[in-house]
Structure 1
Amino acid sequence: MIPAFPNAIPVEGFVGGLLIGLAAAIMLLGLGRIAGVSGLAARATGIADTGAPRNVAIAFVLGLPLGAFLISRALGTVQVSFPDTIWPLIIGGLLVGYGTRLGSGCTSGHGVCGLSRLSPRSMVATAMFMASGFVTVGLLRAGDWL
């Protein structure tokens, strides 16, 4: 246990990070494509006409909840919590979707794949993701919403 972070699970986080990196490497080396979830989701749903082959995008997107389900079955129940109403999730999802289209990618595409390729555009995008997150948490804490 890490004293400053009593709920931290560093081994699980490390293994998860390795698996994300492995998936990104397989996509890049095997298909020559970036494993950005927003692009793969757009391709899987037919919103985008370019990118990974559609069957690959569908398999990747379906694998996300399937992988979480398999881990929960193997390691036990995963505790999650949701707001009392669905509206924050809908609004947040729409804002994230708009932002990923506006920024030409998401945190996985820019933050994992782009940074590992030393892409200047991804460095700027990831810095903006992080800064936005810091400001959002600061505002929520200042307003006593957290």
Structure 2
Amino acid sequence: MTDFTPFLSFLGGTLIGLAVVSLMLVHGRIAGISGILGGLLSKPNSDEWAWRAAFVAGMIVSPIVLHAATGSLTKITIPVSYPALLVGGFLVGIGVSFGSGCTSGHGVCGLSRFSARSMVATGTFMITAMATVFATRHIFGG
């Protein structure tokens, strides 16, 4: 279970929203992580490489900056094995390919633009997540 942290959750959501709006205003691009990373890896010499690299670098460096500023990081426990993580990552990759985007692209950016495709994709993510949690906790005893 997790702790209820409404202020930190609100602050985190606000920062995500500001990042999404800023990227759209400055570059006219959607902040979908799979698309940003995919473009970074598949088009290394494009005009968009710099902002994509900066975006990904910011995701990697931000926990280091947080640790330097506060002296601690949130403890994350992963209650599954590495093979289960690999299988899950593979399945998410398939979903990203078939769904034409990831949860951040559809859930944050697509819903805010009232995209019908993103509404269907986000509904699918949410239903699948609920079914997975239910099955893991109540059927398989995890």
Query: Is the shorter-chain TM-score for this pair beyond 0.5, marking a shared fold?
Result: yes
Higher helix share: 2
Which of 107, 113, 118 in structure 2 is aligned with 1:117?
Answer: 113
Structure 1 stretch displaced more, 57-66 or 73-82: 73-82
1:77 aligns with 2:94: no
Q: Under a length normalisation based on structure 1, what TM-score does the superposition of the two structures give?
A: 0.86
CA contact (8 A) 2:67 2:73 kept: yes
Which of 94, 99, 104 in structure 1 is aligned with 2:95?
Answer: 99
- 3-state DSSP of counterpart to 1:128: helix
Unaligned runs of 5+ in 1: none
Q: CA offsets per residue over residues 20-66 of structure 1, 9 Å max, x none?
A: 101100111111110000111111222x68x9812211211121121
Size of the alignment, in residue pairs? Answer: 140
Moved over 6 A (4+): none
Which residue is 2:54 aligned to? 59
**Post-superposition shift, 1:67?**
1.2
CA-atom RMSD, angstroms?
A: 2.2
Question: Percent identity over the alignment?
Answer: 41
Distance 2:64 2:11 in 1: 17
Which residue is 1:26 aligned to? 22
Distance 2:73 2:110 in 1: 33
CA contact (8 A) 2:32 2:101 kept: yes
